[in-house]
Amino acid sequence: MLDSCLRPELAAEITLQPVRRHNVDAAIFFSDIVVPLRLAGVDVDIVPGVGPVLGEAITSLEQIERLEALSLTDDSLAPIRDAIALIVAELGERGDGSTPLIGFAGAPFTLAAYMVEGKPSRDHLGARGMMVGQPELWDRLMAWCAKVTGQFLRAQVLAGASATQLFDSWAGSLSLEAYERHVAPASAAVFAHVADLGAEGPDGTAFAVPRIHFGTGTGHLLPAMYAAGATAMGVDYRTPLDEANRILGGSVPLQGNIDPAYLTAPWEILEAHVRDVVARGRTAPGHVVNLGHGVPPTTDPAVLTRMVELIHSL
């Protein structure tokens, strides 16, 4: 998995397949939350059926000091830049050349949750324990995570991605207070790495690179995650988009939130769900239609194609 992320031709191919097959309106850079760790030289791999596993869990000051000496360099970022260049070149040849590439990075908390535990965990008690029990150590770890993730995301935009998505998979395990105090500053630092960057639309219009912020189980954190420097909010399937729009004050474009559980349902049921999501999304000032979480591996690809056709017809 990690090796695929770091082979430009392969990462480009995997990024482009859903665009070719399902005719979606944007590509999302194929990568993984721990790619910046690997690029910085941290011993990490993705174990099939388990997830990211580090050579050693990062729990001590000594380990964090050793991390702080690591950084992403022009050389280490080369596979990312090369993959983006390949993707953007092919996307530019499609139709009116308007298919954008959305860059991808994992947020510092989710990255740190893997690092402190050394592997996936259900409640992220390692990270949450360090956060409240050793806040100075935690802040140093988060600052490092923010730096490499920010460099990783900035490199994607400089190489041609025209939007960014920061993916905080495990933020939903936090209370609002814990999120604001121990996590939001680092996610804000990531967004600051790309906030000065612009992109250009197919008609030549320049715009600031959109910054999408996504988590799961984060209905209670939407305003705080937006305040961290996002310009659009991803919303998982748990929060209806009209409610998300209300929570966010009616001024924030949304992304999501088709429930992946419907992908195995009879077509009429899936269709009704998609129509409902799109209708609720219309209450917001913008809606990037998308699933509210990842595509389950057992999904019939033909269903995805048909769903995209439906959405294009609405």
C-beta of 42 vs 236, nearer to its own copies: 236
Question: What does the alpha-carbon distance between residue 153 and residue 58 come to, in Å, rounded to a whole number?
Answer: 23
CB of 77: closest distance to its own copies in angstroms? Answer: 31
C-beta of 154 vs 273, nearer to its own copies: 273
Residues in the chain: 314
Q: Does 49 bind its own copies (CB under 8 A)?
A: no
Q: Does 239 bind its own copies (CB under 8 A)?
A: yes
Q: Does 170 bind its own copies (CB under 8 A)?
A: no
Q: Does 174 bind its own copies (CB under 8 A)?
A: yes
Question: What does the alpha-carbon distance between residue 269 and residue 39 come to, in Å, rounded to a whole number?
Answer: 43
Stretch that binds its own copies, among 12-20, 34-42, 92-100, 215-223 (CB under 8 A): 215-223
Question: What does the alpha-carbon distance between residue 70 and residue 311 come to, in Å, rounded to a whole number?
Answer: 44
Question: What does the alpha-carbon distance between residue 114 and residue 185 come to, in Å, rounded to a whole number?
Answer: 19
- Listed in sequence order, the residues at least 6 apart from 248 whose beta carbon sits closer than 8 Å to its beta carbon are 222, 223, 226, 233, 254
C-beta of 39 vs 247, nearer to its own copies: 247
Site for its own copies in 74-93 (CB under 8 A): none
Q: Does 287 bind its own copies (CB under 8 A)?
A: no
Q: Does 128 bind its own copies (CB under 8 A)?
A: yes
For its own copies, the binding residue among 220, 242, 271, 306 (CB under 8 A) is 220
Q: What share of the chain is helix, strand, coil (3-state, %, to 5)?
A: 50, 15, 35
Stretch that binds its own copies, among 72-80, 90-98, 105-113, 255-263 (CB under 8 A): 255-263
Q: Does 279 bind its own copies (CB under 8 A)?
A: no
The CA dihedral of 24, 225, 292, 114, to the nearest 10 degrees, is 100
For its own copies, the binding residue among 99, 110, 151, 173 (CB under 8 A) is 173
Question: What does the alpha-carbon distance between residue 10 and residue 3 come to, in Å, rounded to a whole number?
Answer: 9
Q: Is the peptide bond before 257 cis (omega within 30 degrees of 0)?
A: yes
Stretch that binds its own copies, among 9-17, 22-30, 108-116, 217-225 (CB under 8 A): 217-225
Q: Does 262 bind its own copies (CB under 8 A)?
A: yes
CB of 276: closest distance to its own copies in angstroms? Answer: 10
CB of 98: closest distance to its own copies in angstroms? Answer: 33
Q: Does 114 bind its own copies (CB under 8 A)?
A: no
C-beta of 74 vs 177, nearer to its own copies: 177
Site for its own copies in 175-204 (CB under 8 A): 175, 177
Q: Does 265 bind its own copies (CB under 8 A)?
A: yes
Q: Which residue has the tokens 């995570």?
A: 145
Q: Residue 294: phi, psi to the nearest 5?
A: -65, 165
C-beta of 165 vs 173, nearer to its own copies: 173
Question: What does the alpha-carbon distance between residue 293 and residue 181 come to, in Å, rounded to a whole number?
Answer: 26
- Listed in sequence order, the residues at least 6 apart from 152 whose beta carbon sits closer than 8 Å to its beta carbon are 35, 36, 39, 72, 77, 80, 105
Sheet holding 163-168, edge to edge: 27-28, 101-106, 163-168, 211-215, 232-235, 254-258, 287-291
CB of 61: closest distance to its own copies in angstroms? Answer: 15
Burial state string for 131-141 with b = 16 or more CB within 10 A and e = fewer than 16 = beeeeebbebb
Tell me which residues touch its own copies (CB under 8 A). Answer: 123, 125, 128-129, 131-134, 172-175, 177, 217, 219-220, 237-240, 259-266, 269, 273, 293, 296
